[in-house]
Amino acid sequence: MNLVSKEYIASKTDGDGVLILSEGAGASSELVEALVVNPNNREEVVNAIKMALEMPENEKAKRIRSMQLRIKRYNVFRWADDFLESLSEIKKEQRKLKAKILTKDAKEALISDYIKSRNRLILLDYDGTLTPLVERSDLAKPDNEVTELLRKLSETPGNEVVIVSGRDRKTLDEWFGNLDLGLIAEHGAWIKEKGSSWKIIEHIKSDWKKEIKRILELYVDRTPGSFIEEKEYSIAWHYRKASIELGEIRAKELKEILMNLVATYNLEVIEGDKVIEVRNAGISKGRAILNWLGKKKWDFILAIGDDWTDEEMFASLPKSAYTIRVGIVPSRAKFNISSPYDVRRLLKDLIEALR
């Protein structure tokens, strides 16, 4: 419970003392007047000790008194009340999420509407939706089962299948170029209708990437296991292979730095599953699928995704659409489904149903 640091603050009745805390300590987010350091960075620790030794008496007292007041107000009783209240809120959230799980009855209704329809639009994210998330993005190549499912779905009369992905267009062409389906790359920057060539949504710039990349490279050096993925109009920092605790700390730091910088370039920061991506503002999956929504009157729409960027897609669809979020998490989607394997099972059932 990180109580030693609080005991130190409470014991300094004369206001004389300086607290140096590791950024990994839970108390560092509460005792903000302490000098917070990365304990693995020797230079940072040395500088903090030097600052503490040279700190004026009035500054020491000011910091100590502020932390003492906070500890006094937020005592063990308030902490326990907050803890129990959080548990109660989680239970309420669990009940809400349980109500949205794609049950057997809901699945049967979906399949029934699929069979009765004639013009069907099927929008599918790839990573985390058709295939599980993996440590390295280059290891997520579709297996035979996924390829065969997509081939059968796209060849079914009345079906228009679109892969809506954050992947770059070269990778999507390599993986799905021989299938009769539509493709959306880089979260909506590029679109490719079946039988056509790639086209960009609008004229967008990429000259900002150099400066952003320098910042991301710094965080790769500071976070073992993390890496950069660069695309034509976006750049991402992945930390799935990094230590969970360190990765989350670094991601929070990086996001704050980027948020202060992106407004200058008209960019936006997207936080996904163990990834932070920077892209041009206004580019989204929701905007990209409008190209298909306007083509004809669809009497069945199914959209499945697993990430924050897929929420934009769900929001752009009519209320009659079947929207499904992979993972039991809050979502704009009508339903939740547990895993990519459940997605595959659903798609197999749709294929079988029309036979």
Looking at per-residue confidence, does 307 or 57 come out higher? 57
Q: What pLDDT does residue 259 have? A: 85
Domain boundary among 253, 280, 307: 280
The token duo for 246 is 């360190």
152 lies in some domain: yes
310 carries an active-site annotation: no
Give alpha helix (H) positions in 34-190. 42-54, 57-73, 76-99, 104-116, 144-155, 169-176
DSSP symbols for 234-273: EEEEE-TTS-HHHHHHHHHHHHHHHHHHHHHHTEEEEEET
Model confidence at 177: pLDDT above 70: yes
Where does a domain end: 15, 42, 74? 74
Residues 171 and 106 in one domain: yes
Render pLDDT for 120-167 as a digit per residue (tens, 0 to 9).
999 999 999 999 877 766 678 899 999 999 999 999 999 999 999 988
Same structural domain, 61 and 30: yes
CB 281 within 8 A of CB 273: no
Same domain, 186 and 214: no
Number of domains in the chain: 3
In this predicted structure, what is the pLDDT of residue 204?
A: 74
Q: Which two tokens stand for residue 289?
A: 């699928």
pLDDT of residue 137: 67
Element (H, E) at 292: helix 285-293
pTM (whole model) above 0.85: no
pLDDT digits (tens, 9 = 90+) for 66-125: 999 988 888 888 888 888 998 888 887 777 666 688 989 999 999 999 999 999 999 999
Among residues 125, 168, 306, 307, the one annotated as catalytic is 125
* Same domain for 231 and 107: no
Q: How many CA atoms are closer than 13 Å to the CA of 120, on its beta-carbon side?
A: 26
Q: Do residues 246 and 103 both lie within one domain?
A: no
Asked if residue 143 and residue 154 are part of one domain, the reply reads: yes
Does residue 91 lie within any of the structural domains?
A: no
The boundaries of the domain holding residue 220 are 209-280
